Chains A and B, each alone.
Chain A
Amino acid sequence: MSQKTTYIPEPELVQGNHTFGSITSLVADIVETPAPRWWYIVFAISSLLLGLLLAMLAYLIWKGTGVWGLQNPVGWGWAIVNFVWWVGIGHAGTLISAILFLFRQGWRTAINRFAEAMTIFAVMCAGIFPAVHVGRIWVIYWVFPLPNQMQMWPNFNSPLLWDVFAVSTYFTVSLLFWYVGLVPDLATLRDRVKSKFGKLIYGTFALGWTGGNRQWQHYEKSYLILAGLATPLVLSVHTIVSFDFAVSIIPGWHTTIFPPYFVAGAVFSGFAMVMTLMLITRKIYGLEDIMTINHIEKMNIIILVTGNMVGFAYIMEFFIAWYSGFEYEKFAFVNRAFGPYAWAYWIMFLCNVISPQFFWSKKMRTSITASFILSIVVNIGMWFERFVITVTSLAQDYIPASWGYYSPTWVDVLTYVGTFGLFFSHFLLFLRFLPMVAIAEVKMVMPQADPHYYDEDGNELNQANDSK
């Protein structure tokens, strides 16, 4: 079989003939110049929403979880839905920064800082819900195995406890990873900012970074180690979140497909969220040279792949329910699609399975408008997925006499709205005060970083390419 092949080089990751210096000023100038007016307006709105969140949480703690729409038989409602949704969104950051790093995907450098920040804030939003869901928040430290006079220990058999460790480990490692990556860029800002106060703050967090050879060696080693540590976490966190459901014996929850299905869904929604935020910020801050159409297309391919994995899981669940021959399981799935919550099921199916199919077309993948709309649609769909899983299985399980219909209260809704305040107020502070693109890492994938023109295998490429 003879074949004529031509070498098609990857498109340049950084467009617009930038130099190292112009990349630095492109990103660092955003932090050094005064914030634009829109920033203050949006920040004020976010802070108001954050206040709303705090008020709702205070009301909840004061009155008890009865202010939510929880009632027998549905003991898990919006709070758990929101928890799983936010944690899922928080998956993209570590996937981009750890897994894509280990796979040497150079394009991650444009979005990793950004996605990691989003991860951390999303996990913060997520963590609120199970914490207040315990009801007696003042004894929340009982989730930790602390020695005490009662000799009482957490229930190590419970996936809810594994969740505590999974999410808190994930948060800690993500935060460390983000911070280690920030150190060289913080040093850049320390050296550039004019104010004494700014120098002190950035200088403190830059940990005395000088950019010396030894420091870079240590930095790259520690970054690699953290990437190795974070990689299993990407898979473990949502696996364990899925155990919250799968370890129980509720029809529709007790399935082995849950861990991979949840992880795929998490990456799906996480990438969609990164996409939404990225499309806005690249436009506003003029970062189109770094976050190029090529990046958008690659992310859309991941959204398409994970969306199809999720769609496969939806259909496979039906097949297994039928194949199991278990009446309750069969009923649970037929009831999802055609029962009282059918509206939620079909919103989910439309948003998560049908909508990403547009990305088969290159035209759609590279269209900013389409990407923006679909990224939001995907996250709406993923919220409904968690709603469908959590609520339908509980509302109609074994005994028809104890079936019910769940509706949220205004406190449920406003708490969820409030978490956007927490998320966006932190995110805006991040955009304002930290370099939103990993300056040092972007430089590593520029052609200038490879003056000898080595190819990916370390062979010297000569201009004529005659060795091939």
Chain B
Amino acid sequence: MAQLFPEWSNKVPRLLLIGSILLLTFTVFGFWYFASPKFTDVGYAPIQPIDYSHKLHAGELGIDCRYCHSSVEVSAIAGIPPTQTCMNCHSQIATDSEKLELLRDSWETGAAIEWIKVHDLPEYTYFNHAAHVNVGVGCTSCHGRVDRMEVVMLAEPLSMGWCLDCHNNPEPHLRPIEEVFNMGWQAPDNQFELASEIIARMNIAPPIYCNACHR
């Protein structure tokens, strides 16, 4: 009887098997890597309505974070400053700057400046700034070196796994309370002892149950 199939067809089942295993593996790991916020979201730096430079204000001028984000220690929300806060200085400084035209318009009309939210958590997640900064989680731990950013950029993935990394193992990310707003703080060599002492003193037990954040 004539052969039904050419000789190369002997290899097909083996290739199919290897191929499907590889395809499955690459699909899973591809999604894991390329679809994670670490890949898709980090580096997000939208152009804001006013060309405001954190590098200038927080970095070179050394204005404390809390001057503008004033509710960070007492509230869940750090707060976006109202036009009033800007005008405290800019009624005196750079009053005729072209860049600040929108600010002056806002001041005159009372219309809010529509800043674009960079660190935007999903609606189903609850996050409390005060609960974090009051126990020694520094601003830079989540927001990166804002004092070096001309335009604010998302520095960390803000993914659930990233939150859990710290909630499961807070030691590397804790600092003395007085250093929370220090942009340039570096972990000392005895970070682990320092953090253990903070954890014991502040009675820190980061929740890892669903209900902590998904209320």
A contacts, CB < 8 Å to B = 146-152, 190-191, 199-200, 203-204, 207-208
Contact = CB atoms under 8 A, between A and B. Distances in A.
A208 B10 contact: yes
Shortest Cβ-Cβ A-B pairs, 8 listed: A151-B161, A150-B160, A149-B36, A149-B159, A147-B32, A203-B4, A149-B161, A151-B164
Nearest to B1: A191
Contacts of B57: none
Contacts of B4: 190, 199-200, 203
Contacts of B31: 146, 148
Interface of B: 1, 4-5, 9-10, 13, 28-29, 31-32, 35-38, 157, 159-162, 164-165
Contacts, number: 39
B32 A152 contact: no
A182 to B, nearest CB: 15
Contacts of B38: 149
B112 to A, nearest CB: 33
A138 to B, nearest CB: 14
B51 to A, nearest CB: 32
- Residue of A147, A149, A151 ringed by the most chain B CB atoms within 10 A: A149
26 contacts: A146-B28, A146-B31, A146-B32, A147-B29, A147-B32, A148-B31, A148-B36, A148-B161, A149-B32, A149-B35, A149-B36, A149-B37, A149-B38, A149-B160, A149-B161, A149-B162, A150-B159, A150-B160, A150-B161, A151-B164, A151-B165, A190-B4, A204-B5, A207-B13, A208-B5, A208-B10
B16 to A, nearest CB: 11
A206 to B, nearest CB: 9
Contacts of B9: 208
Given A147-B29, A149-B161, 11 more contacts: A146-B31, A148-B36, A148-B161, A149-B160, A150-B160, A150-B161, A151-B160, A151-B164, A151-B165, A207-B13, A208-B9
Given A152-B160, A207-B13, A147 B28 contact: yes
A150 B159 CA distance: 6
A146 B25 CA distance: 10
B28 A149 contact: no
Contacts of A208: 5, 9-10
B94 to A, nearest CB: 42
Q: SS class of chain B's interface: helix, strand, loop or mixed?
A: helix
A70 to B, nearest CB: 23
A151 B157 CA distance: 13
Given A147-B29, A208-B10, A203 B5 contact: yes
Nearest to B162: A149
A149 B160 CA distance: 7
Contacts of A191: 1
Contacts of B5: 203-204, 208
A190 B164 CA distance: 58
Nearest to B40: A149
A200 B2 CA distance: 13
B32 A148 contact: yes
A424 B99 CA distance: 73
Contacts of B1: 191
A44 B63 CA distance: 78
A148 B38 CA distance: 11
Nearest to A207: B13
Contacts of B162: 149
A203 B160 CA distance: 51
A192 to B, nearest CB: 12
Nearest to A203: B4
Contacts of B32: 146-149
A199 B28 CA distance: 37
A203 B36 CA distance: 44
A155 to B, nearest CB: 11
- Residue of A150, A199, A203 ringed by the most chain B CB atoms within 10 A: A150
Contacts of B165: 151
Contacts of B37: 149
A114 B164 CA distance: 51
A203 B12 CA distance: 13
Nearest to A204: B5
Contacts of B35: 149
Nearest to A200: B4
A147 B27 CA distance: 11
B164 to A, nearest CB: 5
Contacts of A148: 31-32, 36, 161
Nearest to A199: B4
B74 to A, nearest CB: 30
Contact of A149 (B10, B13, B29, B157): B157
Contacts of A147: 28-29, 32
Nearest to B35: A149
Contacts of A204: 5
A208 B1 CA distance: 13
A142 to B, nearest CB: 13
A204 B12 CA distance: 10
